Structure 1
Amino acid sequence: MSLSTQTLWVGAGLIGQIIFGARFMVQWLYSESRGQSLIPPMFWYLSVAGGVILLSYAIHQREAVFIIGEAVTLAIFLRNLVMLRKEPDSD
């Protein structure tokens, strides 16, 4: 693999990690603004976006443990978005 391809994949992995980590900032600010611990829909969207990128990176790196972990958590994140769509009054 060329250096530029490797750099691109490491960059993709870092971007996925940043997006995935940003969800905690969103959750914290959302909860602080409401005075209680809550999880906003954006948390799950960021989880899916970061999870897809991280799963792609794990597949590219051929790391089975990472692939299994990301696939399972991605399914949970998507399920939460499906449940939110069924709620009549979601943010």
Structure 2
Amino acid sequence: MSLFTDWFAETGWVELTWLGIGFLAQALFSARFLIQWIASERVRKSIVPEAFWYFSAGGGAMLLAYAIYRRDPVFILGQAFGLMVYARNIYFIWNERQSESRAEP
């Protein structure tokens, strides 16, 4: 057997599930940069689209769950702080929308 198949055979399903969650979370988290890049290219200036914050929050929350499972205090602290920033930006977006809808006749 190869090193990979030995590792796969010895690794439990719980570990493999969390590994899958970790990779999915990282993909979601990384996709936000692609979204930001495409949006900036379209208008030919640097912008941060709303979807960037949703991908940040979703990927960050999943990565925080993964970090807690792995019991990595550095990773936990980094993701927890990031989630506060993402949540605050989403709050500003929603608050601005609500203010605009109240201002419309």
TM-score for the superposition, normalised by structure 1? 0.92
Give the aligned partner of residue 21 of structure 2.
Answer: 12
Structure 1: gaps of 5 or more residues: none
Q: How far is 1:84 from its partner?
A: 1.1
Q: Percent identity?
A: 40
Q: How far is 1:35 from its partner?
A: 1.2
> CA–CA distance in 2 between the matches of 1:12 and 1:49?
12
Which structure would you say has the larger RCO, counting Cα contacts within 8 Å and 6 or more residues apart?
A: 1
Task: Determine whether 1:73 maps to 2:89.
Answer: no
Structure 2: gaps of 5 or more residues: 1-10, 101-105
CA-based RMSD? 1.2
Task: Give the ranges of 4+ consecutive aligned residues of structure 1 lying more than 3 Å apart after TM superposition.
Answer: none
Give the aligned partner of residue 33 of structure 1.
Answer: 42
Choose 1 or 2 for highest CA Rg.
Answer: 2
